[in-house]
Amino acid sequence: MIPSYLRRSFRPCLRAIIYLEDRQTTTTFVSVHSRTSSGDSLLLYLLDSNPELPTVFRRLPYAFIDTTFSTICQSDSWPDNFWVSTEFQRVIATKEKSLNLFLRPPRWIIIYRNQHLIFLSAQEANNLIDRIKHLCYIQKSDEPPVTTARLILPRIRRGQSILLAQLFVFSGTLYFENVEEQRAYCQLLSLCPKPRTEEEEEAFEKDWIDMNGFVSNPKHRRQLQMNQGQFNANPIRFVKQLIKNRNKSHASILSYVGSIILNSRKLSFN
């Protein structure tokens, strides 16, 4: 049975994670199919031989439900270990209106057992941070915790930190710290912007690379050593609209991301 104090004090997401951490289980995430109002989607179940643990996590594209982004985010292109809590997705209910204006910005994430990344609401994160600290204290382990809470912000100016290329896209980031981050971003979106190598210029002349830098053919991507691409269709429209939503303004062409998606050109770091 789930302890009664967990039922009273925390939302379902917190009850599920905290209960597992309290028990120090070896529970893993399991993806199963379940019919929802939007069709077949992968749901996250926390399994600990306890049927009372609720299903409270959805794959990341669920964050875009009932927005115009849901039709252009290419839901199958996001990592299987990226999740949102249903509380993170929950916003103001409106009738016959898009929820774009109420899309919750990604600010808090839980790294669960160093394997899964979960976006939470601020209230969920605040409660969980204190609980994680308490667990670390009572366990008195010299090992770093395998479940941690982190604050992330979209990099809309130089000097801000962020984690993965997928988070660059999801959070509406505009700036990179170095060329490696820039390369990872372009690879993720299957973009090959200028300046290009001689081989890439030849590919452009063969129409392997379109005018805004997107490489659509998987065979051509492999030949250009673009092996990290996750979007099958051109994602630039989606990225532009998401940046505008996250930052309340269009991407500046003077920013690293703005130059890539508006001018198909990588800015130098000199």
User: Residues 165-189: pLDDT tens digits?
Assistant: 898 999 999 999 899 999 999 999 9
The C-alpha atoms of residue 39 and residue 98 are separated, in whole angstroms, by 19
Q: Given this model, what pLDDT does residue 150 score?
A: 73
Contacts of 216 (CB under 8 A, 6+ apart): 190, 210, 232, 233, 234
Q: What confidence tier does 7 reach under pLDDT thresholds 50, 70, 90?
A: very low
Q: Which residue has the tokens 């290009």?
A: 196
What is the DSSP secondary structure assignment for residue 208, as one 8-state letter? S
Q: Given this model, what pLDDT does residue 264 score?
A: 97
Query: pLDDT tens digits for 144-162?
Result: 666 666 767 555 555 444 4
Strands 116-120, 39-46: pairing is: unpaired
Strands 148-151, 116-120: pairing is: unpaired
Strands 29-36, 57-59: pairing is: unpaired
Inter-residue contact 36 to 112 (CB < 8 Å): no
Q: Could you tell me what percent of the chain has a pLDDT over 90?
A: 40
Alpha helices in the chain (DSSP H): 4-9, 12-23, 86-89, 122-139, 165-171, 179-188, 198-205, 218-223, 236-247, 256-263
Q: Which residue has the tokens 């996590």?
A: 57
Q: In terms of pTM, does the model score above 0.85?
A: no
Query: pLDDT tens digits for 24-54?
Result: 443 333 333 333 333 223 334 443 334 544 4
What are the φ and ψ backbone dihedral angles of 191, each rounded to 5 degrees? -110, 140
pLDDT at 92 over 60: no
Angle between helices 236-247 and 256-263 (to 10 degrees): 140
Strands 108-112, 39-46: pairing is: unpaired
The C-alpha atoms of residue 141 and residue 152 are separated, in whole angstroms, by 26
pLDDT at 14 over 80: no
